Structure 1
């Protein structure tokens, strides 16, 4: 397309400003800008922008009178389930894993900006004794749960790992796994793909030009998963492998249980096509979304959309009524993913907006960073598909926060969701594993307050298999239980 045709095409949607520096660009820059423009469905993007801006005022209104908590018919709880029931769920999940019917899908598009690093979050090391990164911990949990499934079923099995990255994290993620030999996984069972991007838009509806030949673009949110599954033929790969169930989760939760057989078994037992893990909210004002119903439709409502009065409501047992905190940990059947990833259905997912300070080009061709928000980024959320579920095919599984949810979002300059809080969450969980298996800890000064204890996922997935290793033994922190070439190695401060 020549420059004049391109200009006319943009003018139809009021975006001809994207070519304001055209005559000053090199041929390579012109080619690059033209490719960027061609990659954007301008009319569709602007239509979505106008729709979402109309909804802004409505979204800022409290929706208390439309809310209802999760139905008891779809709800289950780890704490309230009997040991026999939990074992039944676990065996059901492990059986499906053993039959190669389970895959895991990681949402890993975020950079570690708030952490103060310039690489993908999965590469972050929170200073555990082992120095393992989030990626390594997750890879080893996959290996271990495969072993548990083989032990139960007698069949060798594989859990394919699909990792959705963004433009900025794809290359580093691929190189990191290659450098570390895929942490013992078969590279053919690891698929890394990239989510789409959308242009950033000024409040007046103009697409933002970041530099003379560069449009300001941003990832389309973790809800961009559904388009990416379609565009990269991921669903076809899953079908070819015989996968029927998919566990989807976010990279920054250091306690995440990969392909959690109990969660999978629970959802299958419920006949669910879509499921979510939840944790009990710490307080009415905790800034996490809540899984609930709005006008009879399942969705996640942000804490800011609910008045304090409603957030504080409690039932007859003293529990918060709206208590199912969302932790971005989901179950989907492959059939459900195929349905919601279709072009027709995916378009029914509305965009959310985030007001941002977006770098823009000035009249003299220089890039400027604004001090206040000057535009929006549009995104979709992975849980937006809850709206396509009913009580018949939706499930919510409540888990213990201290065992399954410790996100890594901030640097240690903050007080919450930091490398330190993640590291301590691992230590406390693994201390409980050892003590439950009959082991004891005593510091060199005779106290037992903060215990430094790390157990490799290759040794134990969720506390199982430790009795013979630690029962009736006393350990002096720091304690490191690792899998060596010749078996389990236990090191502690007494050595």
Structure 2
């Protein structure tokens, strides 16, 4: 371990000596932990990011001013020609799955705090009847998709320090929801320090602890490499990765049509979008800037631009980001090997900290005192040689759980799940009353003959029905 003098000399070159203020109050274990944190920090990077206007901090509003609607967009099928294309894509995607070259990535580093749930969000009980967790919904989809293709689809689950241990334990307690433990890989996203918004100095959370926060879902690329998982993917023959986030239970995990369109267009990265319900909806939008496909966060899009309309009255910037992507594994390796780092986004936030007096300060929610830095996975889109945008069926595929009540809440998401299940049962000939709660396990829904063998013509379906294999 470096000496105090060596640490102090190193920190003094970056104006961060205050991080050692409480050194004499720490026991050896606490000192070791603090030194490990210090050694993990790229101080020149943090110094650059702390200064407003530096090129490492994304200039979203500048890009928004030059944005036009995305050019390379495949819309939902409407004509016979469209439907033929999507059928071809589905067949191509199913072939990729059968070849065993597809893996899935789940971003699950968030807590369920905004839902009033004090555990990892993936543990949230979203099943309208069964109370299945989000994790179970996704794992059963993946398991069923693999069984249908006659292969195994490995699952790469990105956690954070806040969710890692509970997430791993939850999977173990539930026997990985039918998946083999050897096919589920957990890895932690990285962290970056928060800095004082006036001085640029790194904040302390405690006398021997730096105020660190997750580095965003864009940190996934580095985290995969650090965990050795890009090498593992290559060794397993994984060439194509389906990416999704933990809050959308109706995402079609490893959607064959999406995989097929991505492959047919030889895309480095493809992304799904849905039409925004209004100009005010808080969604990032897919755009083209200087010929490059990009996503601009809603907070960076001027109000006037969000309200622009086409001649037919539809929103000009309506392609909302769903956080469902397909990416070529080799492309991620190229980004890392070539040192092509993603831009950093700086967020002004209220961050608890330890004052120089030793007092612990808890800012009010509106008292923003610090900057946090994040990378976003969608920022690899403009770096791609080829990028594709695919429109999803919003009603069927995008029903996220983001808020405790109102729009995008557990109530709206569960209602959507029930609606989709009622529609599936009616398509099989069952008699399904409106507004009843009914749930179909993905293990049954994705089975070739699952519902056909379970449902008879004119079979009545009762409220609270759960259909499983």
Using the size of structure 1 for normalisation, the TM-score is 0.89
Q: 1:461 pairs with 446, 454, 458, which one?
A: 446
Separation in structure 2 between the aligned mates of residue 56 and residue 177 of structure 1, nearest angstrom:
37
Matched, 1:482 2:467: yes
Q: Structure 1 residues 454 and 186, CA, compared in 2 at 3 Å: closer, same or farther?
A: same
Q: 1:355 pairs with 348, 363, 371, which one?
A: 348
Separation in structure 2 between the aligned mates of residue 28 and residue 305 of structure 1, nearest angstrom:
43
TM-superposed CA distance for 1:284, in Å, is 1.5
Q: Tell me which residue corresponds to 1:315.
A: 310
1:61-72 residue pairs with structure 2 within 5 A?
63-64=64-65, 66-71=66-71
Output one character per residue of 1:110-142: Cα deviation in whole Å (capped at 9) or x when no partner.
111111222111111035211210000101001
Q: Tell me which residue corresponds to 1:435.
A: 426
Indicate conservation of the 8 Å contact 1:229/1:341, yes or no: no
Matched, 1:420 2:411: yes
Q: Tell me which residue corresponds to 1:75.
A: 74
Q: Structure 1 residues 104 and 234, CA, compared in 2 at 3 Å: closer, same or farther?
A: same
Q: Tell me which residue corresponds to 1:389.
A: 384
Separation in structure 2 between the aligned mates of residue 470 and residue 35 of structure 1, nearest angstrom:
59
Matched, 1:282 2:273: no
Separation in structure 2 between the aligned mates of residue 479 and residue 308 of structure 1, nearest angstrom:
44
TM-superposed CA distance for 1:343, in Å, is 5.6
Separation in structure 2 between the aligned mates of residue 273 and residue 464 of structure 1, nearest angstrom:
35
Which has the higher mean CA deviation after the structures are superposed, 52-61 or 92-101? 52-61
Separation in structure 2 between the aligned mates of residue 385 and residue 238 of structure 1, nearest angstrom:
19
Indicate conservation of the 8 Å contact 1:246/1:334, yes or no: yes
Q: What are the ranges of 5 or more consecutive residues in structure 1 without an aligned counterpart?
A: 151-156, 443-447, 489-495
Separation in structure 2 between the aligned mates of residue 234 and residue 334 of structure 1, nearest angstrom:
11
Matched, 1:470 2:468: no
TM-superposed CA distance for 1:164, in Å, is 0.7
Other structure's SS at 1:328 match: strand
Q: Tell me which residue corresponds to 1:101.
A: 101
1:163-312 residue pairs with structure 2 within 5 A?
163-203=157-197, 204-312=199-307
Q: Structure 1 residues 306 and 38, CA, compared in 2 at 3 Å: closer, same or farther?
A: closer
Separation in structure 1 between the aligned mates of residue 115 and residue 319 of structure 2, nearest angstrom:
27
CA-atom RMSD in angstroms: 2.1
Output one character per residue of 1:123-167: Cα deviation in whole Å (capped at 9) or x when no partner.
1103521121000010100111112223xxxxxx11000001111
Separation in structure 2 between the aligned mates of residue 47 and residue 121 of structure 1, nearest angstrom:
33
Separation in structure 2 between the aligned mates of residue 464 and residue 202 of structure 1, nearest angstrom:
59
Q: 1:401 pairs with 372, 394, 404, which one?
A: 394
Q: Structure 1 residues 378 and 56, CA, compared in 2 at 3 Å: closer, same or farther?
A: closer
Q: Structure 1 residues 426 and 211, CA, compared in 2 at 3 Å: closer, same or farther?
A: same
Indicate conservation of the 8 Å contact 1:78/1:400, yes or no: no
Separation in structure 1 between the aligned mates of residue 67 and residue 255 of structure 2, nearest angstrom:
30
Q: Tell me which residue corresponds to 1:17.
A: 18
Q: Structure 1 residues 183 and 108, CA, compared in 2 at 3 Å: closer, same or farther?
A: same
1:141-180 residue pairs with structure 2 within 5 A?
141-150=141-150, 157-180=151-174
Separation in structure 1 between the aligned mates of residue 389 and residue 350 of structure 2, nearest angstrom:
36
Q: Tell me which residue corresponds to 2:115.
A: 115
Indicate conservation of the 8 Å contact 2:128/2:437, yes or no: no
TM-superposed CA distance for 1:58, in Å, is 5.4
Q: What are the ranges of 5 or more consecutive residues in structure 2 without an aligned counterpart?
A: none
Using the size of structure 2 for normalisation, the TM-score is 0.93
Matched, 1:330 2:325: yes
Q: Tell me which residue corresponds to 1:92.
A: 92
Other structure's SS at 2:158 match: strand
